[in-house]
Structure 1
Amino acid sequence: MEFLLTQYPRRPRLLLVDDQRINIQALYALFREQCDVFMATSGEQALQQCQKQLPDLILLDVVMPDMDGHAVCRQLKADPLTQHIPIIFITAQKSEADEVKCFELGAVDFISKPINPVIVQARVRTQLTLKLQSDLLRTQALLDGLTGVANRRRFEEELQNDWRQCLREQSALSVILLDIDHFKAYNDHYGHQRGDSTLRQVAQALAATLCRPYDLLARYGGEEFVCLLPGTGLAGAVAVAQKMEEQVRKLGLEHQGSSVAKVVTISLGVVSLVPGVGMDPQALVAAADAQLYEAKRGGRAQVSSSAGCALEPGRA
């Protein structure tokens, strides 16, 4: 499995789930050199590890006390955050009906105990290769073709995922919505080709302000961008927004059509809240949009912010 070290941009993450530690130890010995291996000895532990580690592949025992492998698989496939993780069932059950059930639940493969190390390694290698290819295609589909940052579809997916996680953890989730000031006037004066170049430069400057791998910058539409900051309160989000405004201004891109400055600037709206049951995550975006409007009304090239604690459950 040496190819995995060169084909993957990082070491693949493998989750082993079995209530018998001796089985986990045998599998761990097979994959520890090529993969980051995580272990769980119960269905509940497996679900927790999946939420925390987002493994690239799961080797899942079927027969376990309390929650069997079938129940674990159902829950993983029902959650958008984990539904794309491939699962290989490993079980002593060898009937055709058992195998059919595993595939009906969404498993990608089925291995019978006692395991053959060569077969297990080959099947894991195959599924990790397919997962890598799927991830690459998915990444390309979720990128904005012009700027190279995430597109709106990716933002909408991550908003749902981060909302659920922050709801579970009762931690803050912040959104920054921004756009380039007087961009129509910019295109009218300099032409759309230069406008596209400016969009790319602005996107790069915005992306450079984000330090954490799970913060997301996306092109929301036209000259509008959105930033998603999970686990970040209002003060932290405002600090990021102010840094974004400064970095774009520092680009020094000439803008003779602007009434704010003779260089390209941005206006930003910031909202932060701790998600509550029954609340609509789109309400957070709508509130950020309202703050962006306030920034424009206040003279542009500035940050307007608000805590979203007043948002009502279900209010969009």
Structure 2
Amino acid sequence: MSKANILVVDDYPDNLRTLSFILSERGYRVRKAIHGEMALETIQVELPDLILLDIRMPQMDGYQVCTKLKAEDRTRDIPIIFLSAMNEAADKVKAFAVGGADYIAKPFQEEEVLARIQYQLTIRRQQQAINEQNRRLQQEIQERYSAQAETQLLLTVIQSVSQASDFPEALQAVLCAVRQAIGWDYGEAWSASLERDVFLLSQTCYDRSDAQLQQFHQASLDLIFPLDGGLPGQIWKSHQPHWIEDISQTSESTFLRAEIAAECGLKTAFGVPIVSENEVLTILVFFKRSQMPQDAKLLQLISAIALQLGLLMRRKQAEDALRQLNQELQRLANLDGLTQIANRRYFNQVFQVEWQRLKREQQFLSVILADVDYFKLYNDYYGHQAGDECLKQIAHALEASVRRPADLVARYGGEEFIIVLPNTIGEGAVQVAEKIQKAIANLQILHQRSNVSDRVTLSLGIASIVPSADIEPGRLIATADRALYEAKANGRNTFRVRQFQSSILTPTPDPQP
């Protein structure tokens, strides 16, 4: 990761210098371009591993640069992270529509930029490893199997595995493709349940109009093989394929379904293991009605397919790990690092979504802006560590005071918090404010330097509105802010309300500075 080659494209020199310094400090190899045409020329000289691309640039903007790169086979797979001060949903939609892999809003945070770069580079290198693995496997297949039909089968299986959304889907597709290609009558897959030390039937493939095969299938459904029993048990212990030329000549311990197989006309069987990290996860078993001696070439062919399925398991595990990493990045990007509640960025996103929704539905939206009274004096007297602990307790109390899933509590900045209350009129917001004040009082946090109480208190400003097209969303927050100042001017440890349509309380004059 530390040797990755990153191209930074931005027409603003300060941004180039800042990003170059941050990335170089982390060991990345950084190249710079001040406009789109220079970026395209630089990329042709040497392909970067990742591009940080500004959107708003003269002559050729970031969208146009991205579109050109995605149209070329040589540059199509380079991940592009857009950097832009434009933070509207439409800008992000367009960024992803032209092929962007991610979008970071300016002003950016160093930790977020580094985390998102690492995530995109991890995805790219995982994909490159998978592509190289498939290329080598296909090359090996071509060299090992000269017969066109066998080669085509293996290539088809590789494609099916690559396109499958999960392991069971891939297993079913491969089982049927192999059975039909080799011309055998019945195929099944047995999966190990290590918690119970048994094999369970997980997939089957056969002609369902065949009454005898249907009978064999029904007889197999309720079977549970011990890990050391029957044909699956032999394969599980040896990790090697096994061939039974004549099922009727085997003992019951070797093949537990010998009698029902004979009744259904099945003569020959063979099985191969699917192994991942030296553990047998699944065993493929095929049956044929005609008796056949062991076919080493066929066993080799099916073993190669089983190897590809084992590789799929590892690939799916890597993809799951990447998804978990991405979810953690999203969680960290939306949380305030100190209080572990929503941060201001996430509040802005939720507020915009709720504003648009309630504008369509013509329903009330209320916000409460809360400020810790005399918090600077608290910090000066008790110390910043105690101040941080105080903010954590307040954040927890605020979250406990709102219970509806759509309500949101966020840290607005410093000692300020904001609460979003969708579908809530002013009276409802007042009830929430009263609950908040009781919750803060119950904390009983000492504050000997407060001029209003010997315990920590909050002042709150409440604003309520039915959103409309002729009102900017920011006016609601500005109104709550004015209500907060009125609460402070009226002695603190209280709340005041302002409402656009019909005032619950008549707004008091703005406090004099």
Q: Structure 2-normalised TM-score?
A: 0.37
1:117 Cα offset (Å): 10
Answer yes or no: is the 8 Å Cα contact 1:270–1:292 preserved in 2.
Answer: yes
Deviations 1:37-66 (A, max 9, x none): xxxxxxxxxxxxxxxxxxxxxxxxxxxxxx
What secondary structure is seen at the aligned counterpart in 2 of 1:121? coil
**Counterpart of 2:336?**
144
What secondary structure is seen at the aligned counterpart in 2 of 1:159? helix
Please tell me whether residue 251 in structure 1 is matched to residue 443 in structure 2: yes
**Counterpart of 1:266?**
458
What are the equivalent positions in structure 2 for 1:50-69 lying under 5 Å apart? Answer: none
**Counterpart of 1:167?**
359
Q: Counterpart amino acid of 1:229?
A: L
Q: Counterpart amino acid of 2:398?
A: L
**Counterpart of 2:427?**
235
Deviations 1:81-109 (A, max 9, x none): 9x78xx9xxxxxxxxxxxxxxx75789xx
1:166 Cα offset (Å): 0.8
Q: Counterpart amino acid of 1:155?
A: F
**Counterpart of 2:165?**
121
1:190 Cα offset (Å): 1.0
Deviations 1:237-286 (A, max 9, x none): 11111111110111000111111110000000000111001311111100
Q: Counterpart amino acid of 1:122?
A: D
Please tell me whether residue 80 in structure 1 is matched to residue 89 in structure 2: yes
Q: Counterpart amino acid of 2:496?
A: S
Answer yes or no: is the 8 Å Cα contact 1:292–1:304 preserved in 2.
Answer: yes
Change over 3 Å in CA distance of 1:133–1:166 after alignment to 2: farther
How far apart, in 2, do the equivalents of 1:263 and 1:294 lie?
A: 21
What secondary structure is seen at the aligned counterpart in 1 of 2:459? strand
Compute the RMSD of aligned alpha carbons. Answer: 3.3
Deviations 1:193-240 (A, max 9, x none): 111110111111111111012211111111110111111111111111
How far apart, in 1, do the equivalents of 2:502 and 2:458 lie?
A: 27
Q: 2:348 aligns with which of 156, 159, 171?
A: 156
**Counterpart of 1:286?**
478
**Counterpart of 1:309?**
501
1:128 Cα offset (Å): 8.0
Change over 3 Å in CA distance of 1:241–1:277 after alignment to 2: same
How far apart, in 2, do the equivalents of 1:281 and 1:247 lie?
A: 29
How far apart, in 2, do the equivalents of 1:165 and 1:155 lie?
A: 15
Q: Counterpart amino acid of 2:417?
A: F
How far apart, in 1, do the equivalents of 2:370 and 2:471 lie?
A: 23
Change over 3 Å in CA distance of 1:197–1:274 after alignment to 2: same
1:297 Cα offset (Å): 0.8
- Gap regions ≥5 residues in structure 2: 1-86, 102-159, 170-315, 504-513
**Counterpart of 1:207?**
399
Change over 3 Å in CA distance of 1:194–1:106 after alignment to 2: closer
How far apart, in 2, do the equivalents of 1:131 and 1:174 lie?
A: 35
1:299 Cα offset (Å): 0.9
**Counterpart of 1:55?**
none
Q: Counterpart amino acid of 2:491?
A: G
How far apart, in 1, do the equivalents of 2:99 and 2:466 lie?
A: 34
1:296 Cα offset (Å): 0.6
Q: Counterpart amino acid of 2:355?
A: W
Report 1 or 2 for greater relative contact order, CA contacts < 8 Å, sequence distance ≥ 6.
1
- Gap regions ≥5 residues in structure 1: 1-77, 88-102, 108-115, 312-316
How far apart, in 2, do the equivalents of 1:232 and 1:187 lie?
A: 35
How far apart, in 2, do the equivalents of 1:215 and 1:169 lie?
A: 17
1:80 Cα offset (Å): 3.2
Q: Structure 1-normalised TM-score?
A: 0.59
1:133 Cα offset (Å): 3.9
How far apart, in 2, do the equivalents of 1:170 and 1:130 lie?
A: 41
Answer yes or no: is the 8 Å Cα contact 1:80–1:161 preserved in 2.
Answer: no
1:134 Cα offset (Å): 2.8
Answer yes or no: is the 8 Å Cα contact 1:155–1:218 preserved in 2.
Answer: yes
Larger Rg: 2
Change over 3 Å in CA distance of 1:285–1:134 after alignment to 2: same
